[in-house]
Chains A and B, each alone.
Chain A
Amino acid sequence: MPITPPPPRRGRGGAKRVLPGFGLTLGYTLFYLSIIVLIPLSALVFKTFTMTWPQFWEAVSAPRVMASYRLTFGASLIAALVNLVFGLLIAWVLVRYRFPGKKIVDALVDLPFALPTAVAGISLTALLAGNGWIGQYLEPLGIQLAFKPAGIVIALIFIGLPFVVRTVQPVLEDAEKELEEAATSLGATRLQIFFKVILPSITPALLTGFAMAFARAVGEYGSVIFIAGNMPMISEITPLIIIGKLEQYDYAGATAVAVVMLIISFALLLVINALQAWQRRHAGAPA
């Protein structure tokens, strides 16, 4: 997903580019993507060809599976939105302020990347369960997070946070302070500056971070499985449905559900990409 805007378009063919070798690099890009992404994924699709259409449809549209799509995509969306807001906040603080221990805080952001997801899930469960550090105070209030869909969202927020912070941070660092100063001298309020000057310049990066956090959350298994509760129709995530099908040695059914997940994810990522392009055209992002 491009973060920087593409060079200005000059019509097709015969356009003078600054650097030669476009054909070669494009060829290499497609080749590499095929090896790493497309071939494994096409193997997945081919596995589903062993089913007839009705079988495929039955596998991917059973009530339990449908409930799991709603949960997985819904929880991922909520988690990515939360990360969008708070990830921006953290990136802002890390870029704009100096405080003791900043380096440590900066390093902490990457921890969810490094931690085995199962460890994350088990620690979160231990915190939030009725007898955990945090859960013991929430339970008497009737708030139960562990083994409920809410727990799934929390786990997904945890693993998705670094994506937003790390994509927005460099863009914020590059943002020109002079623009803000100019806006202030022209009498803009702080809110106006944020919404009219800062936000447009970081929106593409924000959207990229959001898309990554979302995509990662959709496929997440390890951290969620320990906190979800795994109740059919209520708290079963789609990756668990896939594992369940593999347990029945239903390879084709498992890949069918995986293919549906891929299609939905790809469609959503395309929408996010389109949003970026639209935003760029309208906001006239700084080139």
Chain B
Amino acid sequence: MKSLTLKTVLASLAFAASGAAMAQNQLLNVSYDVAREFYKDYNAAFAAHYKKTTGKDVKIDQSHAGSSAQARAVNDGLDADVVTMNTTTDIEFLAGNGVVAKDWAKKFPHDASPTTSTMLFLVRNGNPKNIKDWDDLIKPGVQVVVVNPKTGGNGRYAYLAAWGAAREKGATDAQAAEFVGKLYKNVPVLGKGGRDATAIFLQRNIGDVLITFESEVISIDREFGKGKVQAVYPSSSIVAENPVAVVERTVAKKGTATLAKQYLDYLYSDEAQEIAAQHALRPRSEAVLKKHADTFKPLKQFTVAKYFGSLSEAQKVHFNDGGQFDKLYTPGK
């Protein structure tokens, strides 16, 4: 009995040691829900590139769920080497708790966002309600499907895009607030997340227009074919950044700092930017963007920073409990 346990202990120790040796070339990328397919392709490309340049194999593990839920999991101890999210607030939260570097946004080009997306409209085929721009969304009898800003980044961007678009046309903050209030009066159902809102609009046939990420619009087009819905490009929309960061806490423990950095750096390569474009994420590379001009139609865009300071500040003012969004729905305003 005793010798057996000793053997087990020794064996598990040896196993752990080999695991540690292997961990050198193993990364865990914790990411958001709909990036699964993109990272599957990117990981294969990166592994091939890594093999070619270093001669070593690398294994990338993926984990996908709601962006904020993933950030909480990493914060609570999930050993991710890198985080790739769809809202900067999720990485800000990790930075605030010392899990990623305080200056994470400066560690990689373009505010550490190798790709972006924007908010577009999706309307029924033939555009029966003739929806062309933001102002058409507040007309009586138009039903708008969006994600609840309380439960999804997609919904937060839709709200900020509507607000910013009003400001782009010269409205004051007070007028923008009024506009956004009218828009949400036309919302019959708030989706829980991006995919939920898509299902409500497409499969349940609710609403005349869906506001969602461009990446979602393009994938719907591919999935459901032309002839059911069509994309509408408003006069202006927001830049939605997809930020990435190295999880310092994990790479310090596992000794994967260099590999993690290489993994994120390669997202900016032409090859990776091309893969991103194929997955409907706007590439930062001008050349790749031009090549896919028919997919990513030019559109006047404004950044979050232009009207809201930062996503974290927008969160405080608009989305936290008792903020601007709550005021739209609570009586006695």
Contacts and interface: CB of A to CB of B under 8 A. Distances in A.
Contacts of A248: 150, 315, 319-321
Contacts of B205: 129-131
B204 A130 contact: yes
Contact of A240 (B151, B200, B315, B320): B151
A247 B329 contact: no
Interface stretch (B189-197, B223-231, B291-299): B189-197
Interface stretch (A33-41, A189-197, A228-236): A228-236
Contacts, number: 81
Given A62-B322, A125-B204, A147-B206, A233 B329 contact: yes
Interface string A110-129: 00000000000010011001
Interface string A228-260: 011111000000100111111110010000000
Contacts of B196: 225-226
A146 B200 CA distance: 11
Contact of A231 (B151, B189, B199): B189
A226 B148 CA distance: 13
10 contacts: A125-B204, A226-B192, A230-B189, A231-B187, A240-B192, A246-B68, A247-B151, A248-B319, A249-B68, A253-B321
B326 interface: yes
A126 B320 CA distance: 32
Contacts of A59: 321
Contacts of B204: 125-126, 129-132, 146
A247 B188 contact: no
Given A131-B204, A147-B206, A246 B72 contact: yes
Contacts of B328: 232
Interface of B: 68-69, 72, 93, 148, 150-152, 187-192, 196, 199-200, 203-206, 315, 319-322, 326, 328-331
The 9 closest A-B pairs by CB, nearest first: A232-B329, A244-B150, A129-B204, A131-B205, A230-B190, A229-B189, A147-B189, A63-B330, A247-B68
Given A243-B151, A246-B72, A130 B189 contact: no
Nearest to B66: A247
Contacts of B199: 122
Given A126-B203, A131-B204, A230-B191, A250 B321 contact: yes
A231 to B, nearest CB: 6
A216 interface: no
A64 interface: yes
Contacts of A131: 204-205
A46 B123 CA distance: 48
A231 B321 CA distance: 15
A57 B113 CA distance: 39
A6 B100 CA distance: 58
Interface string A249-274: 11001000000000000000000000
Contacts of B320: 248, 250
Interface of A: 58-59, 62-64, 122, 125-126, 129-132, 146-147, 225-226, 229-233, 240, 243-250, 253
Nearest to A249: B93
Contact of B151 (A129, A230, A253): A230
A246 B328 CA distance: 21
A123 to B, nearest CB: 12
A230 B322 contact: no
A64 B192 contact: no
A243 B193 CA distance: 12
A62 B72 contact: no
A230 B148 contact: yes
A227 to B, nearest CB: 10
A36 to B, nearest CB: 21
Nearest to B205: A131
Given A122-B199, A232-B328, 13 more contacts: A129-B206, A130-B204, A147-B188, A147-B189, A147-B206, A230-B148, A231-B329, A232-B150, A232-B330, A243-B151, A246-B69, A248-B150, A248-B319
A245 B321 contact: yes
A249 B189 contact: no
A64 B329 contact: yes
A226 B68 CA distance: 19
A130 B206 contact: yes
A166 to B, nearest CB: 31
Q: Which of A125, A231, A247, A250 has the most CB of B within 10 A?
A: A247
A64 B189 contact: no
A146 B205 CA distance: 12
B321 A233 contact: no
B78 to A, nearest CB: 15
Nearest to B203: A126
Given A64-B329, A130-B204, A247-B68, A225 B192 contact: yes
B70 to A, nearest CB: 12
A210 B69 CA distance: 33
Contacts of A130: 204-206
A24 B296 CA distance: 71
A277 to B, nearest CB: 40
A231 B190 contact: yes
Contact of B188 (A125, A229, A243, A250): A229
A64 B330 contact: yes
Given A232-B330, A249-B72, A244 B93 contact: no
Contacts of A226: 192, 196
Contacts of A64: 321, 326, 329-330
